[in-house]
Structure 1
Amino acid sequence: MKLLISSVLTALAVAMTPVMAQDYPSKQITIVVPYSPSGSSDPVARFLATELQNRWGQNVIVDNRPGAGSTIGTAYVAEAPADGYTILLTTSAYTTAPAVYEDLPYDPLAMVPVAMPSESPFVITVGSQVKATTVEELAEESKTRDLFLATAGLGSSTHFAGELFTAATGANVEPVHYKGGTEAMVDLIGGRADIYAGSITAVLGNVKAGQIRALAVMGAERAAALPDVPSTEELGIKGASSGFWLGVFAPAGTPDDIVQKLNKEIVDVFASDGGQEFLTKLDSKAVAMTPAEFKELVDTEVAQWKKLAEERGIKAE
């Protein structure tokens, strides 16, 4: 009798899943951002919320839950009902944090990668006190005096991008961890730090103002916003490609039909003329990834950063 009831309940659950997805969304959706409203991910989250609300006719709100290096907001979504009504919009720090922190309050490989709204390459920048004007000269200068690599925090994506670059070039630097990218940039401009690996969005204004210099774009191609700055591959530096991306995740167990529906809408939002114009202003570009492709990228990066952390001796104190 118990077996029969269990079988019936299972059958009902399977039968109801497409119906749930078909009716989705039927109530308010919350996009959780695990950073403060001043962060780089917040404008994208609010743009997405407005666009989804217009498309679906349901309220879509942004809920900022900063703290503990983004783990508070991420854990909140991980523990939310797996029904597509509470989702996470976070940064590429999602894949670097597991390399440093063994006791995360969530399993980064268990959450469901939904879509990647945008990405942009990291840019290696230096302060005015640095004499080097090329990557090669920077590596040489690092052998003659102490150079400090500013990061947006231990285990942040800027930290790992900087470590990846210095490992590939042989530069000798000492990481200095700040509470965020703003604080790191202030010290870079003020001469208290020497190098910073930041997204184009984060560094472009200061580069154009002449307060810092860009030496290389970490990738295969030059960036349209910085046409005179060579890429690392162009310079013959292997294994130094790294990008800053924004990703949407859902709790483990979220029905695939709902994940696919969210993915389609998010991809369409940023592939639209309005979406591309919005991202261009942020010096980013849209990424039309499927959930499966995004999951493959997340799995690959988590393994890559863990390996780099072991090689470079990076760990939480």
Structure 2
Amino acid sequence: MTLTRRAALLAAPLAALSLSGAQAQAPFPSSTVRIIVPYTPGGASDIAARLLAEKLTPVWKQSVVVENRTGANGIVGSDAVAKAAPDGTTLGFVSVNHAVNAALYTTPFDTLKDFSVLSIIYSVPLVVVTAPDFPANSIQDLVKLVKSKPGEITFASTGGAVHLAAEMFAGQVGAAMTNVPYRGSTAAHPDLIGRRVDVMFDTLPAVVGHVQAGKLKALGTTAAQRLPMLPDLPTVAESGLPGFEAATWGAIIAPAGLPAPIANKIATDAVAQLQESSIKERFAALGATPVGSTPEQAQAFVRAELEKWQKVVTAAKIEKQ
């Protein structure tokens, strides 16, 4: 089931979680809860974690604090979560990099065995963008261009899904593209607009302003369905590459071994906040779609994401670091 469909079915997992949460007898929490965000402040993961912390503090009647612990593309902060006591007082809020890192790097933890994934909180799709005068006006045009000039078409990347989505596209097209790495979207966009790099698979909130201003041209979205913000923009899947889907996402994690009653309570209470109008409004401003899932669904989703990105890394012959 895709993240988009899960968002539409939010009420179902919430009802299931509420039942299991009601059955939990563990007195949780009995002290301050810390949410480690392994990325710099101001990003989608950080904002979402702080929104949830604010909402959960009165629900849990305990302080819920956010701690940014950065380094190594999120590995440092995630490792701190993995090594914490599995009692629910130390949580993490991770992005798609949590799955991508397992494919790209040798980590000090096992991404599947050393964490309990409690809920997928949101999804943010990617948009395929080019300069307005780039000689492709659709995904079909881009496919033809990449095939006619293997290795010559360049794509800007900032790591994570932004990089691997382009690699996945090239793999499905059957012709290589050349990666041009940047430290962030703000560094890549001037070169993209100026035609010094050809194409980019970037997050919706990062590019939608440039698209609406006519500075960038959108060819398609990597979401499973068309985006409400850009309803006329087709998906890559419907443009000739069926099954193509890529997104960034945010998830709550905990150390492995977290007792099921506590895991279910955290997930139940977190998912309930996604129905708050203030949360919906802030997520909409981020270009994010609320999801909400049970721990079982979340764990299965991360496993599938890891497997997907591992296949992309292997096919692209990217050496693990």
Q: What TM-score, normalized by structure 2, do the two folds share?
A: 0.86
Q: Does 1:167 align with 2:171?
A: yes
Q: Please state how far the C-alpha of 1:214 moved relative to its aligned partner.
A: 1.1
User: Partner of 2:231 in structure 1?
Assistant: 227
Uncovered stretches (5+) of structure 2, i.e. residues with no partner: 1-21
Cα distance in structure 2, aligned partners of 1:280 and 1:72: 29
1:213 aligns with 2:217: yes
2:109 aligned to which of 103, 106, 109: 106
SS of 1:224's partner is: coil
Q: Given the alignment of the two structures, is residue 195 of structure 1 paired with residue 199 of structure 2, yes or no?
A: yes
Q: Distance in 2 between matches of 1:130 and 1:55?
A: 51
How many residue pairs get matched?
A: 297
User: d(CA) in 2 for partners of 1:310 and 1:21?
Assistant: 45
Does the aligned pair in 1 maintain the 2:95–2:251 contact within 8 Å?
A: yes
Deviations 1:178-206 (A, max 9, x none): 23333333432343322211221222122
Q: Distance in 1 between matches of 2:133 and 2:177?
A: 15
Q: 1:315 to 1:185 in 2, by over 3 A?
A: farther
> CA distance change for structure 1 residues 224 and 181 in 2, over 3 Å: closer, same or farther?
same
Q: 1:186 to 1:94 in 2, by over 3 A?
A: farther
- Note if 1:82 corresponds to 2:86: yes
Q: Relative CO higher for 1 or 2, CA cutoff 8 Å, sep ≥ 6? A: 2
Q: What does 1:2-151 correspond to in 2, within 5 Å? A: 22-101=26-105, 103-110=106-113, 111-128=115-132, 130-142=134-146, 143-144=148-149, 146-151=152-157
Instruction: Note closer, same or farther for the CA distance 1:182–1:34 as it changes in structure 2 (3 Å cut).
Output: farther
The equivalent of 1:11 in structure 2 is none
The answer as to whether partners of 2:124 and 2:247 remain within 8 angstroms in 1 is yes
Instruction: Give the Cα–Cα distance (whole angstroms) in 2 for the partners of residues 54 and 186 of structure 1.
Output: 44
Aligned to 1:182: 186
Alignment check: 8 A CA contact 1:29 1:84 kept? yes
Q: Is the 8 A contact 1:33 1:63 kept in 2?
A: yes
Task: Give the deviation of 1:175 after TM superposition.
Answer: 1.1
> Identity across aligned pairs (percent)?
32
Q: How far is 1:48 from its partner?
A: 0.8
CA deviation after TM superposition for structure 1 residue 88, in Å: 0.7
Aligned to 1:306: 310
Check 1:315–1:183 CA distance in 2 against 1; reply closer, same or farther (3 A cut). Answer: farther
The structure with the largest alpha-carbon Rg is: 1
Partner of 1:240: 244
Given the superposition, is the C-alpha separation of residues 185 and 64 from structure 1 closer, same or farther in structure 2, using an over 3 Å criterion? farther
Structure 1, gaps ≥5 residues long: 1-17
With over 3 angstroms needed to count, the CA separation of the structure-2 counterparts of 1:19 and 1:197, relative to structure 1, is: same
**Amino acid of the residue matched to residue 253 of structure 1?**
G
- Quote the offset at 1:172 in angstroms: 3.6
How far off its partner does 1:130 sit? 2.0
Q: Is the 8 A contact 1:122 1:198 kept in 2?
A: yes
Deviation of residue 47 (structure 1)?
0.7
Root mean square deviation of aligned Cα: 2.1
- Does the 8 Å CA contact 1:150/1:196 hold for their aligned counterparts? yes
Change (3 A) 1:45 1:72: same
Q: Compare 122-131 and 249-258 and name the one that shifted more.
A: 122-131
- Distance between the aligned counterparts of 1:280 and 1:116, measured in 2? 16
Residues 184-193 or 232-241, more deviating:
184-193
TM-score under structure 1 length normalisation: 0.87
Letter in 2 for 1:242: A
* Secondary structure of 2:218's aligned partner: strand
Distance 1:19-1:123 versus aligned 2 partners, 3 A rule: closer
CA contact 1:21–1:255 (8 Å) conserved in 2: no
In 1: Cα distance, 2:189 partner to 2:102 partner: 25
Q: Does 1:273 align with 2:277?
A: yes
- 2: distance between equivalents of 1:169 and 1:158? 17
1:168–1:238 Cα contact (<8 Å) kept: no
Worse-matched range after superposition: 270-279 or 293-302: 270-279
Q: What's the CA shift for 1:38?
A: 2.9
- Contact kept, 8 Å, 2:103 with 2:320, in 1: the verdict is no
Aligned to 1:7: none
**Aligned-pair distance for 1:264?**
0.3
Letter in 1 for 2:107: L
